[in-house]
Structure 1
Amino acid sequence: MTTSNDRPPATRHRPVMLRRCLALLGPALREPGSVVVDCTLGLGGHAQALLDAFPTVRLVALDRDPEALRLAGERLAHHGGRATLVHAVYDELPDALGRLGIPVVGGVQAVLFDLGVSSMQLDEAERGFAYAREAPLDMRMDPTTGASAADVVNTYPPGELVRVLRDFGEERFARRIVEAIVAERAREPITTSTRLVELIRGALPQAAMRTGGNPAKRTFQALRIEVNGELAALERALPAALAAIAVGGRLAVLSYHSLEDRMVKRVLARGAAPTAPPGLPEVPERYQPRLRLLTRGAERPDAEELADNSRAAPARLRAAERVREAL
């Protein structure tokens, strides 16, 4: 029997808002030798489309997941030396560029982020990302390093666990869930996704389980973000990516929950606003905005894409162009 893991990357993953991403980044990639960075390679859907659509560009692609790099490498192999794949988290972008001899300030023409968990990670039950499957409680995007979700659930002090669920999952019943977790782990360690889901269901009031989808989704999101340090990495990565983009270059970011999207919105809005002290009759050049917003708010997938790919539903796309050098 063929499983999702047996299928080639092109059929296992449909890149979200692909045409719109290409349209937004394309004007920055017209010159031969332009460099585009895919900070979240995954199975390589966006990367392949960029290489196909712009046959003179060079791609630098980052991912923390060794298996994603292997599969995407096979998918992109026919592009030869135009694609360079790097095992790195996206906040390591300056180091990755430096090792490749690309200037970390103004050295690239386009950067793409497709944040969150990948289709491959969701589909591979043993990774523990999906709350509807029996699996070890892991959730590491790079399974070769760092603490797992089981480590977090079984060792964090109760107050710290409450903070994680509230801050990263926006879970209003965080304290009740943590009380159930603490009571259970005192009896035996919590090691599987299904056991954690059972505890969450038992901790929530019945009314809370009748709305909002699977009651475990906020807890699983929170644990995934904590395990992988996603928001902290993004907070460092966005300024680094903007610094790397040359004047006329473009940044596009796909996010999948409100915490990511708010951070992206804040960073881009800051760059698109003048920095002059209030009350000046005229804004000097050095205080002019460094960015021009390319999207009106956050764009959403259209109905056609949602009908074809339900996983695109939470996506929010924001983009900006660098119009001036950074000070």
Structure 2
Amino acid sequence: MLKVSDFDHIPVLLYPTVDALNVRPGGIYVDCTAGGGSHSAEIARRMRGQGILVSIDKDDAALAACMERREAFEGINWMPVKSDYRDIDDIIRSLKIGKVDGIMADLGVSSYQLDTAERGFSYMKNGPLDMRMDPNEWLTAAEVVNKYSRDDLERIFREYGEERHAGRIADGICERRRTKPFSRTTELAAAIKEYMPGHGSGEDQHPAKRCFQAIRIEVNHELSGLESLLQDGIRKLKPGGRFAVISFHSLEDRIVKEAFRSAESPCTCPRDFPVCVCGKKSLGTVITKKPIEPTEEEIEINPRSRSSKLRVFERNDNEQYN
């Protein structure tokens, strides 16, 4: 079994996130991305031996490390669950919990996943083209890179990676794979760099970063899962319950921002209507009008936190959409 000591992961925005949840003893909390259990452990510490904590992850290694952390806390009903956070509604129903006091999600890839070459997430480490959060799923990065059509590759690079050279890179990949399919991460990263104008010499980051992000999102269906999590999670909060989400790139952040904004102001009536006739009522309040970002000190300790943003929503007592 993988141990906490093996699951090397520095949590991002740890205290701002748990602070935002207003954790209290006896409450019910859900960590939708358990990772190695760092955020879950801090939530458990503040629960002071009372309440229920559900830690969800679809990575077996992450859950194994999380379960080891659980041994240090007595009194709390801490339940690790292997699942996808898109299924939060089914998970909570199956546990017969009802409404919860707080939900959090850290949408980043863990340091363990990035640093373990065999997982295939990193363009800096030589490993198989995998990128599956759940190794039991069938779709891999190799399948995407070698089997997707040229147009589909361009689409995911442009939409999920916001890569301005998406078409050119897709052309290069399709030309290369005709004679030799891609199988290794560093092989693909080098090819992407080669296909970019000037071989990516003007980039502030590795030229393959955006395309690797796009492939990872496609393999794990991350954005559609996030939309389901946000929609269902808000409805599972008790009045006064909070939802805290850490995002790492603009696509995720826009989805979180829009979901929270729509829950706060769902009215679809034209602006010039004197009164609301659509009947849609606010579900709560966006606590973070601007996202919380890491301090310079945190960025220095953990450079991977640089792009992170935390947004928080608080549920009201409107029961309209429960």
Question: Alpha-carbon deviation of 1:298?
Answer: 1.3
**Cross-structure match for 2:63:** 69
CA gap 1:319/1:133 in 2 versus in 1, 3 angstroms:
same
Q: TM-score, normalised by structure 1?
A: 0.91
* Counterpart residue identity of residue 88, structure 2: L
Structure 2 counterpart of 1:213, from 202, 205, 209: 205
The answer as to 2:5 corresponding to 1:8 is yes
Find the partner of 1:17 among 9, 13, 17: 13
Unaligned runs of 5+ in 2: none
Map of 2:220 onto structure 1? 228
Change beyond 3 A, Cα 1:202–1:78? same
Q: CA deviation at 1:6?
A: 8.1
Q: C-alpha distance in 1, partners of 2:309/2:256?
A: 10
| Cα shift at 1:325 | 2.1
Partners in 2 of 1:268 and 1:242 — Cα distance? 9
Partner of 2:164: 172
Separation in structure 1 between the aligned mates of residue 135 and residue 268 of structure 2, nearest angstrom: 46
* Match of residue 88 from structure 1: 83
CA distances 1:250-278 after superposition (whole Å, capped 9, x unpaired): 00000000000000000001111262734
> Superposition pairs for residues 38-49 of structure 1, below 5 Å?
38-49=31-42
More helix by percentage: 1
Distance 1:293 1:36 in 2: 19
- What SS class does the counterpart of residue 210 from structure 1 fall into? coil
Q: Which residue of 1 aligns with 2:309?
A: 316
2:92 paired residue number:
97
Q: Deviations over 1:26-85 (max 9, x none)?
A: 1xx33x431100000001100000001221231101101011111111122232552101
2:51 to 41, 48, 57: 57
3-state SS, counterpart of residue 21 of structure 2: helix
C-alpha contact (below 8 Å) 1:301/1:315 kept by paired residues: yes
Query: Whole-Å Cα distance in 1 between the matches of residues 72 and 6 of structure 2?
Result: 14
In 1: Cα distance, 2:266 partner to 2:304 partner: 37
Conserved? CA contact 2:128–2:185, under 8 Å = yes
Which residue in 1 is equivalent to 2:72?
78
Decide whether aligned partners of structure 1 residues 131 and 207 sit closer, same or farther in structure 2, where only a CA change above 3 A counts. closer
Deviation at 1:244, TM superposition (A): 0.5
Equivalence for 1:127: 119
Q: Give the letter aligned to residue 324 of structure 1.
A: D
Pick one of 96, 106, 109 that aligns with 2:101: 109
Where 2:205 maps in the other structure, the secondary structure is: coil
Match of 1:295 in 2: 288
Percent identity, aligned pairs only, is 37
1:1-20 deviations in Å (ceiling 9; x for gaps): xxxx987168x222111111
Q: Take 2:79 and 2:204, find their aligned partners in 1: how far apart are those partners?
A: 41
Deviation at 1:291, TM superposition (A): 1.4
- SS in structure 1 at match of 2:245: strand
Aligned residue for 2:181, secondary structure, equals: coil
The offset of 1:283, in angstroms, is 6.3
Q: Give the distance between the partners of 2:18 and 2:174, measured in 1 at CA.
A: 47
Contact 1:60 1:83 in 2 (8 A): yes
TM-score of the aligned structures, taking structure 2 as reference length: 0.93
More deviation in 33-42 or 204-213?
204-213
Instruction: Kindly tell me the number of residue pairs found equivalent between the two proteins.
Output: 316
Taking a change above 3 Å as real, the CA distance of residues 189 and 296 of structure 1, as seen in their structure-2 partners, is same
Q: Contact 1:289 / 1:324 at 8 angstroms: preserved in 2?
A: no
- Provide the C-alpha distance between the structure 2 equivalents of 1:116 and 1:209, rounded to a whole number of angstroms: 27
